[in-house]
Each structure stands twice: as structure tokens, then as C-alpha cells.
Structure 1
């Protein structure tokens, strides 16, 4: 298939405003919201962040199955995607509404309940969103270009949500600040949902194959699909590392750098480079191959994070230099796995003759969600081990052991997790990558329109 038009690339990429906002803000602010506004103990707060996301690990494959069935029945995944995104937008605003039910336990229970609904709605948005690249184009390199656009918009979305949201919460202060922030992020999510729905109107949806008849056949496919399992393992471990890092940004700004106002700058310094280096990663993927780009970006990220383990003794400008280098690596580990995934899906659909995009995206999203959820929970455990003092006052003093725990949880721990994925980055994750400059396209056949 020929290259996609600008309208389709941009329209699809706008969905990153929803995934970027929901994937970022809870990991960035929900833990401090619980520990420093509701006085929830750090270990309990970490569990609260984890449990609703853990539900998605079970539910996302089901959402993928529903998405595949909706594609075959209605000829499009877009309506399911739009409904999921809009419900998520409303529920996200409610998540930080802080109703004040009279006790810490009741308020925490409210957060858990609403977060469960958010996680379910997000599954119905993100799973179809992740399934679309395998259907929008069959061209090997066009998928890298589409993913680069998506990650560039994702970086912008993360910058806006991750930098502005803490500014709103801190600027207004207290529960009121979190309420306003929740509405702001809810609007961003709605913009993303509506944008991708309208922007992909009329775009190809791929071959309208029958879904696999039963879960037993799907499980057999996953057992036999070694390339997907390798790629999924790498993505999960690295998502866990990034989520642990993001959970520490708020604490590093306050207790390591000594200035809560630096939180937004730290976040922008980490995510912002993606807007600048995305064409570079695209070019590396085209000339050196997607696997090479994936390996180089992983090594760069691990080295930069390892250097940040010495943040307590660094000058603040030096900290930002290494944060920016980590951001360059982060951009690469976002682009390449998402560019490889649709190649694997297309090959597996040709092999089995059945729709795989939805269920594969469901399993993929479940692993990503688990990594993003376990990260803040893991960081919460590190805080607890360091003797972090939870308080309704965000300026509570911390022992030296807690500051050290914050530093290592933000740097060394995610560096180790990113590095652990490197031995898994072998050629088998590609399922047969063509040589740079070549192409890999499915033969022409019946295609629908969304």
C-alpha cells in the first residue's frame, strides 16, 4: 500500500493526547495526591495506584477480542474507541475530585473505585488505538513513519499534561488544585478521543478477516508466537523502568533538588527531546534497521539514568543534562517496539488467516498497563523502605535515608530495569526484518474503510 496522507497520520497521532495524558498524570501525581493530600501511607498508596491498573491486565485481552468482533461486525474500531475515550475523560476529572467523605479510608476507597472505571474505559480506547497501525498501512517503513508521528505527538501530549498538570495542582494548591487539574486533563483526553475518531475517518482498516473462533486457539497462537513474546517482554520491562522514573519526578524536585517548581522542568527535560530527535530515530530505523535503533536507544537511556544516581551531589544544570540524554533514549524505546509490532501482526494474520490486531493489542496493552502500574507501586515500596514520612503537608521534612531512596528509585532502579531488557533484544523479536531499504508488504486483497 502507498504512503499514508498527512491527514491520516496526524489524525491517528492525535489519539496520543488521550494515551499520553492518562499514561502520564496518574503515575506522576496520583501517588503524591494520596500520600501528601490524603495522608495515605506510602505502601498503601502504591497499592492503590497498582490495583485498578492490574485489572486491565485481565481485561485488556477481552477488550481486544471485543474490538476484533466490532471490526468484523461494523467494519470499524472507531466507535468503540470514541466511546472509551469520552468515558475516560469524564471519569478522570472525577478521579481527582476529592469529595471529602470524612475519613482517609473512605476517600481512598473512592479513588480506587473511580480508577477502576478509568482503567476499563481506557482499555476500550487504547486497545483499538494500538490495533490500527497494522491496518492503516501494509508498508514496512511507513509504519515507522506513522509511529514516529504518533510518538512525537505523544511527547507533546506528555509535555502538556505532565508539565502543566503539576503546575496547576501546585499553583492552586491542596484538593482544589487537584480538582482543577483533573478537569484540565479530562479535556485533553476528550480532544484526543475526538481527534483520532474524526482524523481516521475514511482511512483503510485492512482485511476484514474472521476473528479466531475461541480462546483456546488464541492461547495456542500466543504460545507459538515467539517473536511477539520476546518483544512483549522487552516492552514490559522497559515500561516498568520508565514508570518508576516518572513516579519519582515529584519527589526528586522537592527533596533532592529542593525546589517543587522544578518538577515541570524535569518532566519537560525528559520528554521534550522526543520532539527534536524523532526524525533521527526514524532515519536510523530506515538505514540501520529497527532492531539497531531499539538497542542504541536502550543503551543510551540506561547510561543516562545510571548517571543520575549521583544527582544528590550534582549541580542542578548537570542533572538536567542527563535528564535530557535519558529523554533522547526514551524517544527511541517508544518508537521502535511500536513500529515492529504491526509487522508481527501482519505476518501472523497471513499465517493464521484470522484477525489478530485487536487481541494482540489487548495483550500488548495489558503488559504496558501492568508495567506502568507496577512502577509507581515499586517506587512507593522504595520510599517505604527508605523511611519516607507521609503527611497531609507536602513540605514535611524527610530523613536522609528517604532522600537517598528517592534518588535511587528515580535513577538506578529504572536504569537496571532498562538494561535487563537488553539481552532480550535479539533478531527473533523482528519475526524476519527486511534489510534496510527493503519493504515488507502484504499482497493486495480485500480491504475495508473505517
Structure 2
């Protein structure tokens, strides 16, 4: 074993409910961040008056810098020695600062020029992403360490996904029903500039508290997990992240899944960043109806998490990922195609809203739940393959890929969304219900076309993932033998 390897972890026993619960709770602020990201482009564009493409590129600038930190954070975490293990020191250190920076992103000082607003956004996004990397990468790596069991990993990622989406749905419900509720001055509540700072204050506190609790309540698990067995010379340690990424990319399953997930998360990022635009301009619905759509979406996710977990005991993980991806793509894009073509029911039809909520909300997200819970489980299996071939436990580097995919969600996705907004010629003065037909068509084509292209290419990569259940069992036998 190399000098920067790790002693074998004791993960033979099943996960206790307490550990599973406290660990998974740490994913809920990630759900809050996803909801916040849905509104960020809209807030800086429609409320603060920054062009959509400019906001998108500001977010991308932060994400490009941030993407470089993922393998670095993973490699540093993999090599860390402390009485709290390899992961918890970073999780504990970043939890409270993440809450503070969440607030600062959403509450710029009044009176700033457009250039100063963009600079404020870029700077605090850079800080936020750096802190998020040093929390999220160790956090995700910890999940793979807690158990090696093929099916229990899926159980863990399922519960983690549940808690993440509880955070996401809670944030969305409070935003739409309370912070951005319609008023006499703002019939479209999402245009109310006073609602966003109150939202930021509330969820900054929630984010800091929940992240800290998740890290603190699971710190005792470090005693039974892997620890580095040797020390590297400092010159070698400086180049370690890049060597680790190079070595990991030699694994065919890792390459296939990484490129697939990055492309799909980018598509999700476009969809989320355009969510309010599509609701307001393309579908022509109110904040209250958008909330009902959100209920349909989260119902689909929660039903899907349990459904795909149960099916996962019978089918290969890649098969579930493929079925879920194709089902999501078909159910998400078809309504846009039908509406642009003029084959969707008229807004006055009693079928208009039920079909919109049922297909784009419930059904598409029921399918997306499959890939959602399988990604972390499949990456966990890849860490075992990596250990077999290298003699090292490098969960941090492997799960840096999932963190990178999330950066595409919150980085490149909004850039593409901003380009779609500008392509559709939506400006600060464009009001829902008054947009020309050309704007509506451009939004539909931009949303549907981008999602189709990204998902279609992602499935080409997914076909090359070949780490099936039998092969994983053989890997574990060879490691233990």
C-alpha cells in the first residue's frame, strides 16, 4: 500500500437509524441552495435589473474557479489526520460561515451600480462555493465510507435525497406562500424586492444550524473509518489532487458516470434557473399555481425515491439510471413541444393546469428520482474499485465528481438559462401576460432544446458504465481476501 493510503475501515455493520438520520440531515441545506438557485438569476435580473446573460456569466465565473477546488478538497480530505477523522474537521469548520455567506449573496448593499452589483455577486459566490466545496466533498465522501453494502448504499442515498428535497420543498413553500406572496403593490409576488432579504435571513440561520448539527452528531463515526497510513513529502502532496484525478479517470465506470452526471446536472440547472420565467411567461401561471406545481414535483420525487429504491433490489443501478433518464426527458420535453406546436390545451381548458402539473411536475420528477438516488450509490461502488486497483481509499476524489456536477447545475446551467432569456428578449420591463408570441416560442425552444441535447449526449456516456452488482461483489471479496 502506498504511503498515502488509508487503513481499512470497519463498515461491516449496518447503519444505525441515528447515524443515517443525522448524516442525511446535512443534505437539506443543499436542497435550500437548489431552491435559492432557482430564484437567483430571476432576482438579480428582474428585481435588481442586471441583464440575464450578465448574471449567468457572473455565476459561471465563480463556478469555473470553484470547479478547480473540487479535486483539491477531495485530495486534502483523503489525506487529513485528526481526532475527528478525515471528513469532519472541514464539515465543522465550514458550516457556520456558509450560513453567513448565504445571506450576503442575497442582500447586497443598497445604492450599488450595476457593475458593483455584479462584482458583489461574483465575490460572495466565490466565497460561498469555496466553503461549499470543503463541506460538500468531505460530506459526500463520508457517505461512501459509512457502508460498503451494495444495497445499503442505495438506502443511504435515498434517505439523503429525501432530506435534501424536504429542505428544497420547505424553502420553496415559504418563498412562494410567505416571503413572495402577492400584495396590492406586487400582484406577482416574485417581483417584490422586500421578500428576498427576509428569505435570506431565515435560511442563512437554518443552513448554519443544520450543517453544524449533522457534522457534530456524526463525528463519533470517525473512530471506525479509514485513516491515512503514511505521510507524503510536501512537494508530492501539492501535485496529489491532479495525480488522483488522473488516476481516477482511468476507471471506465468513473469516466462514464462523471460525464453523464455533469451533462444531466447542467440540464437541471437550466431548467431550475428558467423555472420562474417558464411559469410566468411561457405557461402564464400565478405564484399560487406555481406552488401547486411544486407540490406535484416534490410528490413525484418522494414517490420516486421509494419506488426506485425498491426496484433497485431487482435491477442493476445503471438500468434504473437509464430508465429514469429517458422517462424524465420524454415527460419533461413533450409538453413544451406540444405547446409550441399548438397542440396543448388552451389556458381556458379544464385540462390545461392538471396536465401541466401532472406531467411536468409529478411524472417527470418521479422519473428523475431514479438517477438522483443512484448517482451517489454508483460512485460509492467506484471507490471500492479504486481501492482494489490502487490500494487507497479516495472517496474525496471520487465524490469530487458529484460536487463538480452540482457546480455545473449552479454554474453553467444559469449561464445557458441567461442566454435563453436574452434570446427570448425578456427584459426588466417585460411583464407576464404581455410578452409577444415570439418570446413564448423562443423560451419553449430554448428550454426544451437545451435539455434534449444535454440528456441525449449524457446517455451515450452512461452506456459505457459497466460496474454491475456481480462485479462489485467480486471486488469486495478480493479486497477482504
Equivalent-residue separation in structure 2 for 1:413 and 1:272 (angstroms) = 25
The correspondence for 1:177, drawn from 195, 219, 227, is 195
Q: Which moved more, 1:73-82 or 1:332-341?
A: 73-82
The TM-score normalised by the length of structure 2 is 0.85
Alignment of 1:114-153 (within 5 A): 114-153=124-163
Unaligned runs of 5+ in 1: 446-450
Structure 1 SS opposite 2:180: helix
Equivalent residue for 1:331?
369
Give the conservation status (yes or no) of the 8 Å contact 1:60–1:365. Answer: yes
Give the conservation status (yes or no) of the 8 Å contact 2:95–2:209. Answer: no
The correspondence for 2:462, drawn from 417, 425, 431, is 425
Equivalent residue for 1:206?
225
Equivalent residue for 2:441?
404
Equivalent residue for 1:82?
92
Equivalent-residue separation in structure 2 for 1:53 and 1:264 (angstroms) = 29
Structure 2 SS opposite 1:18: helix
Equivalent residue for 1:448?
none
Seen in structure 2, the aligned counterparts of structure 1 residues 17 and 48 have a Cα distance that, compared at 3 Å, is same
1:390 aligns with 2:423: no
Shift of the alpha carbon at 1:128? 0.8
1:434 aligns with 2:445: no
1:3 aligns with 2:14: yes
Shift of the alpha carbon at 1:156? 1.3
1:350 aligns with 2:388: yes
Equivalent residue for 2:5?
none
Equivalent-residue separation in structure 1 for 2:200 and 2:327 (angstroms) = 34
Equivalent residue for 1:238?
264
Seen in structure 2, the aligned counterparts of structure 1 residues 217 and 124 have a Cα distance that, compared at 3 Å, is closer
Seen in structure 2, the aligned counterparts of structure 1 residues 153 and 378 have a Cα distance that, compared at 3 Å, is same
Structure 1 SS opposite 2:324: helix
Seen in structure 2, the aligned counterparts of structure 1 residues 12 and 333 have a Cα distance that, compared at 3 Å, is same
Give the conservation status (yes or no) of the 8 Å contact 1:144–1:335. Answer: yes
Structure 1 SS opposite 2:193: helix
Q: Deviations over 1:358-405 (max 9, x none)?
A: 1222243123312431111101111211222234x8659433222222
Give the conservation status (yes or no) of the 8 Å contact 1:88–1:118. Answer: yes
Report the aligned-residue RMSD.
Answer: 2.5
Shift of the alpha carbon at 1:412? 4.1
Equivalent-residue separation in structure 2 for 1:45 and 1:406 (angstroms) = 18
Equivalent residue for 2:4?
none
The TM-score normalised by the length of structure 1 is 0.90
The correspondence for 2:253, drawn from 192, 211, 227, is 227
Shift of the alpha carbon at 1:169? 4.2
1:297 aligns with 2:334: no
Equivalent residue for 1:257?
283
Seen in structure 2, the aligned counterparts of structure 1 residues 9 and 425 have a Cα distance that, compared at 3 Å, is same
The correspondence for 2:112, drawn from 97, 102, 109, is 102
Equivalent residue for 2:412?
374
Shift of the alpha carbon at 1:34? 1.1
Unaligned runs of 5+ in 2: 1-11, 182-188, 346-351
Structure 2 SS opposite 1:283: helix
Equivalent-residue separation in structure 2 for 1:191 and 1:412 (angstroms) = 40
Indicate the structure (1 or 2) with the bigger Cα radius of gyration: 2
1:268 aligns with 2:295: yes
Give the conservation status (yes or no) of the 8 Å contact 2:273–2:414. Answer: yes
The correspondence for 1:278, drawn from 305, 308, 316, is 305
1:20 aligns with 2:31: yes
Equivalent-residue separation in structure 2 for 1:239 and 1:187 (angstroms) = 27
Shift of the alpha carbon at 1:293? 0.9
Equivalent-residue separation in structure 1 for 2:105 and 2:410 (angstroms) = 18
Equivalent residue for 2:211?
193
Seen in structure 2, the aligned counterparts of structure 1 residues 166 and 51 have a Cα distance that, compared at 3 Å, is farther
Structure 1 SS opposite 2:194: helix
Q: Deviations over 1:149-191 (max 9, x none)?
A: 1111122121112332344442276332110111122133224
Q: Deviations over 1:315-351 (max 9, x none)?
A: 1211111121111111111111111101101221232
Equivalent-residue separation in structure 1 for 2:396 and 2:82 (angstroms) = 11
Seen in structure 2, the aligned counterparts of structure 1 residues 220 and 277 have a Cα distance that, compared at 3 Å, is closer
1:42 aligns with 2:60: no
Equivalent residue for 1:307?
334
Equivalent-residue separation in structure 1 for 2:333 and 2:120 (angstroms) = 38
